Amino acid sequence: MKTDSTSGLSSYTPEEMSELYKKDPQRFEELAEQALKDACVGRTPEQTLKFQQMQWNIDAQLRRAKTPLGRMHVMENIFYTRVFGENGELAHLMQECTELVRVATGTDGPSQSEPAPRSEPVVSKRPVLHLVKR
């Protein structure tokens, strides 16, 4: 395991991270905090601020969870909301693709101020995984 103070969390294997967390949780937290700071650096100061605000929001939501399983559920909800939610990334991607097809085919569609009608519904429920015992 790397123990010098300049190595980042990314220089550890998952097994080494687990060992570091068990042996020196304070050092693990320091490395994790630095990794988050590094991840929140954008190309512009505005982008950096946006990333920091997003991380603060995630941290605030995670603090409400009392257990590691609860934290996992919070992260899962954040992911599904940002990707599959009504204003999620998937909905934006579908709108952009629909607009691109309209431009490419030369068909008239609604104006920029009107929302584009969706050709297919956006999935609003999370997929469910069922485990079956044999």
Domain that holds residue 66: 41-105
* Helix H or strand E segment including 105: helix 89-105
Give pLDDT, residue 113: 52
What is the number of structural domains in the chain? 1
Residue 119 lies in a domain: no
Residue 89 lies in a domain: yes
Residue 114 lies in a domain: no
pLDDT in tens, 35-50: 988 888 999 999 999 9
- Angstrom CA distances, 118 to 62, 82, 85, 108, stand at 33, 18, 14, 15
124, 86 in Cβ contact below 8 A?
yes
Residue 127 lies in a domain: no
Residue identified by tokens 């920029």 is 112
What whole-number distance in Å separates Cα of residue 53 and Cα of residue 40?
Answer: 9
Rounded to two decimals, the pTM is 0.53
Residue 54 lies in a domain: yes
Residue 34 lies in a domain: no
Give pLDDT, residue 73: 93
pLDDT in tens, 48-107: 999 999 899 989 999 999 898 999 999 998 888 888 888 888 888 888 999 989 888 887
Residue 15 lies in a domain: no
Residue 24 lies in a domain: no
